Chains A and B, each alone.
Chain A
Amino acid sequence: MSVLVNKNSRVIVQGFTGSEGSFHAGQMIEYGTQVVGGVTPGKGGTQHLDCPVFNTVAQAVAATGANVSIIFVPPAFAADAIMEAADSGIEVIICITEGIPVQDMVKVKEFIKGKNTRLIGPNCPGVITPEEAKVGIMPGFIFKKGTIGIVSKSGTLTYEAADQIAKAGLGISTAIGIGGDPIIGTTTKEAVELLMNDNETEGIVMIGEIGGNLEAEAARWIRDNGNKKPVVGFIAGQTAPKGKRMGHAGAIIGGAEDTAEAKMRIMQECGITVVKSPAEIGITMKKVLQS
């Protein structure tokens, strides 16, 4: 089954003709993702990468039946792009853009409430269902097909985990990069829930960071729902100082509850197998699946 994206996903690219959009759209097409078109206001009616370009998302949806959008629009215009996609009936919106102002995201969150749409990101690597669809910027070949779902706030750490899982003889059902911003569309808990309900997923890797309470919320949900599938967790930033932003806009320790230590303790208490070292994600997943 897999989640969010699969071989039937019809994908449009917002910010299609820009350099980032062009490069990654090319990579996605090469991977086998069904890219059906793109949107760049003012360039409608032209062709790019052998796909039609539209002025608006609504036109793109009407002409192509697109149901997934990936956004490479610069930060100042990205919130607007997300809302346009949501308003045009796109079911899954994946926003790669890093650096969107927080107050813009407060408005976006409110705007998409109650609409039939799911936002992934922003500031994320995207989503991949191996051998079906890559809707993101990740190197596709690292993600071998299999039964482990990944939920992660970090891009390269997701690649690291996927690589370790492959080396442990396992593979990925769907990997979801949820993003490292303070406000994101799909929370850790929501992404974990998708994978818990996916019959192709047998185990879940949950990668978090310092800052916020998303991991604690997910851990409690996992416990309250009976720990149906084994979950291996890692929290980056065990050595991060308080009050300093570590690269990601959301990665900042505010109080005692959002340190790596506190999150790891809560996850452990909720029955998640927590690894201290990021080098042990793959082998630990193999072990918990065997036991």
Chain B
Amino acid sequence: MNLHEYQAKSILKKYGVAVPRGYVANTLEEAREAIQKLAQETGSPKCVVKAQIHAGGRGKGGGVKLANNADEAFTHASNILGMQLVTAQTGPEGKKVRTLLIEENVYQPGELPPKEFYISILLDRSRAQNLVMASAEGGMNIEEVAHKTPEKILKEWIDPRVGLQDFQARRIAFGLGLEGNGFREGVAFIKALYKAYIESDALLVEINPMLRTSDNRILAADAKINLDDNALFRHKDLAEMRDIYEEDPLEVEAKASDLNYVKLEGNVGCMVNGAGLAMATMDIIKLSGGEPANFLDVGGGANAQTVEAGFRIILKDPNVKAILINIFGGIVRCDRVANGIVEAYKKVGNIPVPIIVRLQGTNAAEGAKVIDESGLKVYSAITLEQAAQKVREVLG
């Protein structure tokens, strides 16, 4: 589960990671109050107005604006709140901004020029260990840095038995070239970041940029956290941070019916039991001249209720020209699945697109017979090859 910047910062702050002072606003009235309160607290009218959406590149898209005084800040707030923000990661339709973070401007001139760093903690799957990565090339695309100049990335793998050790935090802070107070705060920052990562069961904590201010302090200027969905059962407070406006409405609906659905851009919908077979079915659709409209794993059950819910979700996508149902009946028998499909079809009624039902496994022939004799606009198939052929035919 992804979080907004303001949510990530509220978690980090709890663990002692230094973040800029700021307030959240969901309305213009709240924005006005936030601007006032912040100015009183910092003693400066300068601030930053930041759009809160789950996508990177907000600055370039016009979702992050600097203000020199309260009036400017309010103008930015009224322009950004409610706007359809388009960034490199949102797609052309953009995302509506429903929340603002109004923050102090931590890029002030002074003794030192402010400097940006990159730091993240994530799981290294191949070593089954957590990994801290840092780079003095902050504010940049880290994948690009990793690709072009891998030697500029500092890495510390964490021993699961003892966690992050002080020497590792020091090694990173020295490696980044931090000195004096900046070094001391940097070490504390890294240790607090690791604690936040572990204790909130995150899959990723990314601070880009981590800022060394002109007065040699260390702050998280931006923050991104991705939580492990499978661990949310032990973090009820974090689970509540889910923002369904950031998810595809069909995916939200599918989740409510316990279906594992991902919306895609193609023209052939599919409904499959098992995640691997579901991906393989998407691939078959592509090889048959179509494009998959979705990923949908109905799980082991594949009964009339789940199939009906699946039909309703797939059919809400106007791009869908055909549906391929692919069920490998192991312990669930194909004839029972077939009856469930027919029942679901009749309940949904008038389905305007052709449906191909591929049932393989226990009682496959009986399943095909149920489909063929249903009198509905449904084609049966037993092998994957036959299913692919049928998809080709209906797409014409």
Say yes or no for A142: interface residue by CB 8 A criterion.
yes
Segment of A42-50, A61-69, A151-159 in the binding face: A151-159
User: Contact at A239–B230, with CB atoms within 8 Å?
Assistant: no
Could you tell me the dominant secondary structure of chain B's interface residues? Answer: mixed
Per a CB cutoff under 8 Å, which of B128, B276, B388 touches A105? B128
Residue of A nearest to B387 (CB): A279
In the assembled complex, B28 has its CB within 8 A of some CB on chain A: no
Q: Are B282 and A240 neighbours in the complex by a CB distance under 8 Å?
A: yes
A247 touches B (CB below 8 Å): yes
Please determine whether A183 and B276 come into contact, CB atoms closer than 8 angstroms.
Answer: no
Assign chain A's interface to a size class: 35 or more
- B123: chain A residues within 8 A (beta carbon): 102, 106, 182-183
Q: Any chain A CB within 8 A of the CB of B291?
A: yes
Q: How would residues 137 to 177 of chain A score, 1 for a CB under 8 Å from any chain B CB and 0 otherwise?
A: 11101100000000011111111100100000000000000
Residue of chain A at shortest CB distance from B285:
A239
Does A238 touch B at the CB level, under 8 Å? yes
A141 to B282, CA, bound (A): 27
Residue of A nearest to B283 (CB): A238
Min CB–CB distance A185 → chain B (angstroms): 10
Alpha-carbon distance A137/B274, docked complex (angstroms): 13
CB-defined contacts of B275 to chain A, threshold 8 Å: 154, 180, 209, 246-248, 251
B112 at the interface (CB under 8 A from A): no
Report the separation of the CA atoms of residues A244 and B91 in the bound assembly, to the nearest whole angstrom: 14
Interface assignment of A1: CB less than 8 Å from any CB of chain B: no
Task: State which of A141, A241, A251, A255 has its C-beta within 8 Å of the C-beta of B143.
Answer: A255
Q: How far is the CB of B72 from chain A (nearest CB, A)?
A: 35
Contact across chains for B230 and A102 when beta carbons are under 8 A apart: yes
B256 contacts partner chain A, Cβ-Cβ < 8 Å: no
Q: Least Cβ distance of B234 to chain A in Å?
A: 7
Which residues of B from 142 to 159 have beta carbons under 8 Å from A? 143, 159
CB of B129 within 8 Å of the partner chain:
yes
- Determine if B276 and A209 form an interchain contact, defined as CB atoms under 8 angstroms apart: yes
Q: Which residue from chain A places its CB closest to the CB of B273 in the assembled complex?
A: A156
Per-position 1/0 for B174-207, Cβ under 8 A of A: 0000000000000000000000001001010000
Q: Is the CB of B361 within 8 A of A239?
A: no
Q: Does A277 contact B (CB under 8 A)?
A: yes
* In the bound complex, CA of A76 to CA of B233 (Å): 8
B: number of interface residues (CB 8 Å):
53
- Residues on B with beta carbons closer than 8 Å to the beta carbon of A251: 275-276, 279
| List of B residues within 8 angstroms of A109 by Cβ | 128, 160
Chain B nearest CB, measured from A30 CB (Å): 11
- Residue of chain A at shortest CB distance from B199: A103
A256-289 contact mask (Cβ, 8 Å, vs B): 1 or 0: 0000100000000000000011110000000000
**Are the C-beta atoms of B283 and A106 separated by less than 8 Å?**
no
What is the chain A residue whose CB lies nearest that of B198? A103
B118 to chain A, nearest CB (A): 16
A75 at the A/B interface (Cβ < 8 Å)? yes
CA distance A139 to B330 in the complex (A): 5
CB pair B287–A276 under 8 Å, yes or no, is: yes
Q: Is B90 an interface residue (CB 8 A)?
A: no
Contact indicator B362/A139 (Cβ below 8 Å): yes
Is residue A234 contacting chain B, with contact meaning CB distance below 8 A?
yes
A115 at the interface (CB under 8 A from B): no
Q: 28 interchain pairs (CB within 8 A)?
A: A75-B230, A75-B233, A76-B234, A99-B230, A101-B230, A102-B123, A102-B231, A106-B129, A139-B362, A152-B276, A153-B276, A154-B274, A155-B277, A156-B274, A156-B330, A157-B276, A157-B277, A159-B328, A182-B123, A183-B123, A209-B275, A209-B279, A213-B125, A236-B277, A239-B282, A244-B262, A249-B229, A251-B275
Q: Knowing that A239-B292, A244-B262 touch, tell me 4 more A-B residue pairs with CB under 8 angstroms.
A: A110-B159, A156-B272, A183-B125, A279-B385
- Report if A250 contacts B (CB, 8 A): yes
Chain A, range 97-118, C-beta contacts under 8 Å to B: 99-107, 109-110
Expressed in whole angstroms, the minimum distance between the Cβ of B200 and any Cβ of chain A is 10
Report the Cα distance A276→B272, complex, angstroms: 19
Q: Within residues 183 to 217 of chain A, which ones have a CB less than 8 A from any CB in chain B?
A: 183, 207, 209-213, 217
Residues of A within 8 Å of B286, CB to CB, are 238-239
Say whether, besides A110-B161, A251-B279, A277-B388, A182 and B125 are in contact (CB < 8 Å). yes
Asked if A227 is an interface residue, CB under 8 A from chain B, the answer is: no
A237: Cβ under 8 A from any B Cβ: yes
In whole angstroms, how far apart are the Cα atoms of A248 and B262 in the complex? 12
Task: Compute how far the CA of A185 lies from the CA of B348 in the bound complex, rounded to whole angstroms.
Answer: 43
B230 touches A249 (CB 8 A): yes
Confirm or deny: B117 has a beta carbon within 8 angstroms of a beta carbon on chain A.
no
Q: Is the CB of A103 within 8 A of B283?
A: no
Flag whether B126 is at the interface (Cβ < 8 A): yes
CB proximity to B under 8 Å, residues A77-124:
99-107, 109-110
In the bound complex, residues from chain B placing their C-beta under 8 Å from that of A213 are 125-126
**Contacting pair A277 B284 (CB below 8 A):** yes
Q: Which 3 A-B pairs have the closest CB atoms?
A: A154-B276, A247-B275, A156-B274
Residue in A142, A160, A250 whose beta carbon sits within 8 Å of that of B280 in the complex: A160
A22 interface contact, C-beta 8 A: no
- A247 CB contacts on chain B under 8 angstroms: 260, 274-276, 278-279, 295, 297
Within 8 Å by CB of A160, from B203, B233, B277, lies: B277
Closest CB in chain A relative to B32 CB, distance in Å: 36
* B216-236 interface (Cβ within 8 A of A): 228-231, 233-234
Q: How far is the CA of A156 from the CA of B298 in the complex (A)?
A: 12
B244 within 8 A of A: no
